[in-house]
Amino acid sequence: MKLNFKNTIKILFFSIAVFSQIKCSSSNDAVDPVVNPPVVNPPVVVTNDVDFWLTKGDQSVLLAKQTGTLGFGTVVNTYTNIEVNASQKYQTVDGFGYTLTGGSADVINQLTAAKKSALLQELFGSGANSIGVSYLRISIGASDLNAAPFTYDDLAAGEIDLTLAKFSLNKDKAGVIALLKEILAINPKILILATPWSAPLWMKDKDSFIGGKLQTQYYDVYAKYFVKYIQQMKAEGITIDAITPQNEPLHDGNNPSMYMSAAEQANFIKNNLGPAFKAANLSVKIIAYDHNCDNPNYPKAILADADAFPFVDGSAFHLYAGDISALTNVYNSYPTKNVYFTEQWTSSAGDFAGDLKWHVRNVIVGSMRNYSKNALEWNLANDGSFQPHTNGGCSMCKGALTVTSTENFQRNVAYYIIAHASKFVPAGSIRIASTSSGSLQNVAFITPSGSKVLVVVNDSSGSEIFNIKFNDKWITTSLEAGSVGTYTWK
């Protein structure tokens, strides 16, 4: 029994020794266990898809491109959506701009050559610092924002000029005409609408620039007055795209002004102005009315006249009374005829924040959502005293620019109202569908190059966070109360 126990012990020790040698020798060839590093997701890179330009009502930001990143995505949130649909198209846009009054030309022409050149490039050019104004309205003869009233055929009391032998553009040649030539050198495609404030006094039933009517016996010669104006402007290198027969035909208290009822305007268009344009082979558009939104029945009465209808391209509106929806009222009644928005002033007593919000909501968003082909603010420029203007003309009309010296000017609220559209929405753009709800009033466009543009004004008293949704993706952005944003993307 002892022998067997000893043998067992020996075998056990031998086995341990062998095992130890094997373990020690094999340890030299051992492979360290693989330790995987912790998984770290790569950083999410958000590319900027949308450019955003901002103006705030407190003027702390003025048409400034924002530096934040707005990338389209699909992360769900509960904010309001403004959904843009490029497949649903409406009217083609002719442009955005101002009235180049005689007074505007006078003060701009007072700038030094270098300063004026820089300003005109900023207003009408296509560079990075330009706002791309694409439409101008001018007066045939004087408006109330000229230093004094005049027409192109002023005669001594008792004289008449049935052949228009004394017709002359001379009173505008150094002012509006000279400045238009400089503008056209920058943008030859700018569209120009011309409108008279008064016929020559010898044609009226009242020997005054203020009020009175066009006498029926002078309808024909007055139509030829328009033809001669268009032809002589063409000879100066200036193409008139459209005319209206009378500025604010129901407002006869301005200086100058002239009353013209809807029936009178229909008669003048169908019997005189339209046939005169046709005989002279003029393709210039005739746009009716050119007055407030409170009387859509005026242009509708003209369009209801079967003989006037073929000569009329559409009707034009201002918004000193009524509601901007009047444009849709007229458009729906005569959908083959265009509507235009041709004037809205900003007052010297106005508030920047209030004017910015009201005008973008009504003049830019409102007119465009109601089928207008253009949107124009009133006078482009005046001086620090809101001059020049006629005796009895508008003494509180504040230009988009105030020219303060030969070297300086300031940009006013109307500059930014128009710039938020004109800089991004060139002529030939098309309005497209965008949802509008609550306080975020907006309008969308697709440009000839395919860019999408959305102009939004926050009409509420507080900040708003919202989404801009396009093709089932969206970006999230915000606007403070009263702020205006223009968003652009490809």
**Residue positions annotated with a catalytic role:** 248, 343
Kindly report the CA angle at 177 between 172 and 180, in degrees rounded to 5? Answer: 150
Pairing of strands 346-347, 397-398: antiparallel
User: What is the C-alpha to C-alpha distance for residues 274 and 317, in angstroms, rounded to an integer?
Assistant: 21
Token pair listed for 190: 């700018």
User: Measured in Å, how far apart are the chain's first and last C-alpha atoms?
Assistant: 99
Dmax over CA atoms of the chain, in Å, equals 161
User: What is the C-alpha to C-alpha distance for residues 250 and 321, in angstroms, rounded to an integer?
Assistant: 12
Cβ atoms 239, 229 nearer than 8 A: no
Token pair listed for 374: 């253009």
- Find tokens 């509960």 and name the residue: 78
Strands in 271-380 per DSSP E: 285-293, 314-322, 338-343, 346-347, 372-379
Write the CA distances from 58 to 63, 181, 360, 439, 455, integer angstroms.
12, 37, 15, 18, 19
Cβ atoms 143, 149 nearer than 8 A: no
Other beta carbons within 10 Å of 117: 13
User: What is the C-alpha to C-alpha distance for residues 278 and 273, in angstroms, rounded to an integer?
Assistant: 9
Other beta carbons within 10 Å of 277: 21
Token pair listed for 271: 């019997």
Cβ atoms 382, 403 nearer than 8 A: yes
Closest to 452 (Cα-Cα) out of 477, 425, 476, 478: 425
